[in-house]
Amino acid sequence: MSNDNNFEKRGVDYSIKHGERTLPGKYYHDEGIYSEEVEKIFYKFWIYACREEELPNFGDYKIIKVEDESIILVRDKENEVRGHFNVCRHRGTQLCAEEKGSFESKNIQCPYHAWTYGLDGKLIGAPLMAKEDGFNKEDCTLHHCHVHSWEGFIFISLSENPEPFEVQMEALVDKFSDWRMGDLRIAHHIEYKLDCNWKLILQNYQECYHCPGVHPLLSQLTPFQSAQHDHSKGAVIGGFMELTKERGSMTMDGEAAAPPVCDVSGDDLQRIYYYSLFPNMLLTPHPDFVLFHHITPKGPGSITNNCYWLFHPDVIADKTARERIKSAVDFWDLTNRQDWTVCEQMQKGTGSRRFTRGYYSGQEDILLALDKELLKALGHDESN
């Protein structure tokens, strides 16, 4: 993306200096570096988990897997979503094996010796465990996982003491309030399984240097030279591109898929925003819908990428709008697959003994910001 002078004013210097280099290839392949990333990033940062609408009712739950940890997200009777480690306090058995469902009894019971917990995590039943034996139920509450809801998106942090969500996501907090994303609903979802490192998907998302060759249709709708930095800070890094067609959007024919979302107006009617919420979410607000990706790493060389299309519920309910939603889905499914092909090829190439470090172009300065965020989190210095 091209440079924006305002960046220096904000004290963020992402500009490419002559000879700026990419990460060494080991960052995409090395098991040791991957383990460090899991420990220092995925177990520590706020990460995207699921949408509020996936847990509509009291007792509904969803299991979120973060590498070898498993978290139960459950909606309690106060309508809050709570997070618990999926680990019984008796002898450590995993409590819940199903990926999602509803706790009909409104409590969580271990399948082994039937210790029972309230949805708030408190131990309420432990057969034959007596106070006289020095046993205290209060000491056996399920281990807590931090939960934060923003605009219908639920984020979790597995850290015992995470920094506040508003600090990690400072640039995001009031950024897209006109979309009222909490009111939007999932109209479509596709799960992709890819053989590449998780960071290659973030990198690919944040530059359009590849667009003329890889995405001919996208390049007609939003010329790659239109890419701009936007307000970015820390873990929230992004920008926008301008639509060529008035009241257009990213669809197979370039026409809008729906009326503008909620309060979207002015310049936002002609922009597609691309925001990485480091480390595991990509958020793409369009004038008429919102696309987002949820990236789950499965080792250094593979990921699951769940892609969602959010529309206003009135549009989803309107049968005549189905073809237009499909046009938005087809456009991004086509574009996604074009991206996945080059990301998987890059995964292969960067594993070569001959690949050390590459060279960034002036179009790829956000990638440098992503690299810096990664190295800062890992405490690595790759400056030489």
Q: Which is nearer to ligand FES, 21 or 143 (CB)?
A: 143
Q: Which residues pair with 123 in a beta bridge?
A: 117
**Can you say whether residue 133 is alpha, beta or left, with left for phi > 0 and alpha for psi between -120 and 50 degrees?**
alpha
Residue written as token pair 């939603």: 325
When CB distances are held under 5 to 8 angstroms depending on the partner's kind, the choice from Fe ion, ligand FES, none that residue 339 binds is Fe ion
Nearest-CB residue for Fe ion: 339
Please confirm whether the linkage preceding 287 is cis (ω < 30° from 0).
no
Give the other-Cβ count within 10 Å of 134's Cβ: 7
When CB distances are held under 5 to 8 angstroms depending on the partner's kind, the choice from ligand FES, Fe ion, none that residue 198 binds is none
Number of residues written out for the chain: 384
End-to-end CA distance of the chain: 25
CB of 242 to Fe ion, least distance (A): 17
CB of 144 to ligand FES, least distance (A): 18
Token pair for 106:
């409104």
CA distance 279 to 8: 24
Binding stretches for ligand FES (CB under 6 A)? 88, 90-91, 93, 110, 112-113, 115
CA distance 321 to 188: 13
Q: Which is nearer to Fe ion, 46 or 360 (CB)?
A: 360
Q: Which is nearer to ligand FES, 90 or 210 (CB)?
A: 90
CB crowding 66-96: b at 16 or more within 10 Å, else e: bbeebbbbbbeeeeebbbbbbbbbeeeeebb
Token pair for 113:
């010796």
Ranges within 103-142 binding Fe ion (CB under 5 A) = none
Q: CB under 5 A: which stretch of 38-46, 109-117, 332-340, 365-373 binds Fe ion?
A: 332-340
CB of 97 to ligand FES, least distance (A): 13
CB of 87 to ligand FES, least distance (A): 9
Kindly tell me the sign of the dihedral angle through the C-alpha atoms of 240, 241, 247, 248.
negative
CB of 374 to ligand FES, least distance (A): 38
How far, CA to CA in Å, does 221 sit from each of 247, 251, 322? 11, 9, 21
CB of 12 to Fe ion, least distance (A): 24
Q: CB under 5 A: which stretch of 37-45, 297-305, 315-323, 339-347 binds Fe ion?
A: 339-347
Residue written as token pair 């996501």: 169
Q: CB under 5 A: which stretch of 45-53, 164-172, 335-343, 350-358 binds Fe ion?
A: 335-343
Q: Which is nearer to ligand FES, 91 or 144 (CB)?
A: 91
Q: Which is nearer to Fe ion, 151 or 339 (CB)?
A: 339
SS3 call for 100: strand
Q: Which is nearer to Fe ion, 37 or 339 (CB)?
A: 339
Residue written as token pair 């000879």: 19
Q: Which is nearer to Fe ion, 51 or 293 (CB)?
A: 293
Member of 207, 230, 339, 365 binding Fe ion (CB under 5 A): 339
Q: Which is nearer to Fe ion, 168 or 350 (CB)?
A: 350
CA distance 317 to 295: 28
When CB distances are held under 5 to 8 angstroms depending on the partner's kind, the choice from Fe ion, ligand FES, none that residue 41 binds is none
CB of 110 to ligand FES, least distance (A): 3
CB of 156 to ligand FES, least distance (A): 23
When CB distances are held under 5 to 8 angstroms depending on the partner's kind, the choice from ligand FES, Fe ion, none that residue 91 binds is ligand FES
Q: CB under 5 A: which stretch of 13-21, 165-173, 333-341, 345-353 binds Fe ion?
A: 333-341
Q: Which is nearer to ligand FES, 115 or 292 (CB)?
A: 115
CB of 54 to Fe ion, least distance (A): 27
Q: Which H or E run includes 273? A: strand 271-277
How far, CA to CA in Å, does 86 sit from each of 40, 46, 56, 156? 21, 18, 20, 14
Q: Which residues pair with 81 in a beta bridge?
A: 75
Q: Write out the residues near Fe ion by the rule CB under 5 A.
A: 339
